[in-house]
């Protein structure tokens, strides 16, 4: 498959900044999520075969809410492998969607989406066969504190590739950035890049990260809420 941005949206998010997290003493914001691409790390729970080899990838995310309605927003996920084949299978949804249970975070500072619709694409291959890919997310828990406003989340994923099905725990972090640099025309892996400020969006320096060796994606270390302890 060719690479494609999971979402081509303007990236903006409330109190998300380039230099650090928001003041934790602020009132809890409405349930939200970083609008754009998230780096998602997978931990296999059950399964074998081709579907059980996922390590990390980009997933596009955004929410939809009706202003002034008081209703909880709807969360959309667009997995990168499906976005890369957008338009090849118009009969199936490329996005997974589900409603938050509340408009504002719970006392535990969580915004929960119990279940999401299936995202699916049947992708034609060069050998004439078709690969059927399905994503079923559930038990999505988005961090909703003022310090982590929709920029870390964890979920269960059932991933199916043709007749092969595997279960994962998915951990997402916003934004999705690569831990690599180009030196003399060659791409080199550099984990330090994950924590370096850059023009545009940077990963919050309070987030502990690691560089996934299979994808060169900066991914979150630990499960949300995950923050570097300050001395």
> How do the domains of the chain map onto residue ranges?
36-177
Torsion angle of alpha carbons 7, 214, 172, 205, nearest 10°? -100
pLDDT for res 18: 36
pLDDT for res 200: 79
Which pLDDT tens digits describe the chain residue by residue (231 residues)? 444 444 444 333 333 433 344 444 556 789 999 999 999 999 999 999 999 999 999 999 999 998 888 899 999 999 999 999 899 999 999 999 999 999 999 999 999 999 999 999 998 888 989 999 999 999 999 999 988 999 999 999 999 999 999 999 999 999 999 999 988 888 899 999 998 887 778 999 999 999 999 999 999 999 999 999 876
Q: What are the two backbone dihedrals, phi and then psi, of residue 5, each rounded to the nearest 5 degrees? A: -65, 135
Cβ contact 143:224 at 8 Å:
yes
pLDDT for res 12: 37
pTM: 0.86
pLDDT for res 197: 84
d(CA 162, CA 126): 16
Question: For every residue of the chain, which 3-state class applies, written as one string?
Answer: CCCCCCCCCCCCCCCCCCCCCCCCCCCCCCCCCCCEEEEEEEEEEECCCHHHCCCEEEEEEEEECCCCCCCCCEEEEEEHHHHCCCCCCCCCCCCEEEECCCCCCCCCCEEEEEECCCEEEEEECCCCCEEEEEEEEEEEEEEECCCCEEEEEEEEEEEEECCEEEEEEEEEECCCCECEEEECCEEEECHHHHHCCCCCCCCCCCCCEEECCCCCEEEECCCCCCCCCCC
């Amino acid at each position: 498959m060719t690479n494609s941005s999971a979402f081509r949206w303007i990236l903006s998010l409330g109190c998300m900044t380039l230099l650090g997290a928001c003041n934790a003493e602020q009132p809890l914001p409405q349930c939200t999520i970083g609008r754009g691409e998230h780096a998602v790390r997978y931990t296999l729970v059950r399964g074998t075969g081709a579907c059980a080899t996922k390590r990390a990838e980009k997933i596009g995310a955004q929410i939809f809410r009706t202003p002034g309605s008081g209703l909880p927003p709807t969360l959309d996920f667009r997995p990168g492998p499906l976005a890369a084949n957008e338009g090849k299978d118009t009969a199936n949804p490329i996005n997974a969607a589900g409603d938050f249970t509340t408009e504002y975070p719970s006392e535990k500072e969580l915004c929960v989406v119990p279940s999401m619709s299936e995202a699916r694409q049947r992708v034609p291959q060069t050998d004439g066969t078709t690969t059927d890919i399905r994503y079923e997310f559930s038990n999505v828990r988005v961090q909703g504190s003022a310090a982590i406003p929709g920029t870390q989340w964890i979920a269960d994923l059932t991933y199916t590739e043709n007749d092969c099905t595997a279960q994962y725990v998915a951990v997402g972090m916003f934004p999705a950035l690569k831990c690599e640099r180009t030196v003399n025309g060659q791409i080199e892996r550099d984990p330090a890049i994950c924590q370096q400020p850059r023009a545009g969006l940077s990963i919050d320096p309070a987030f502990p990260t690691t560089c996934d060796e299979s994808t060169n994606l900066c991914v979150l270390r630990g499960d949300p809420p995950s923050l570097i302890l300050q001395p």
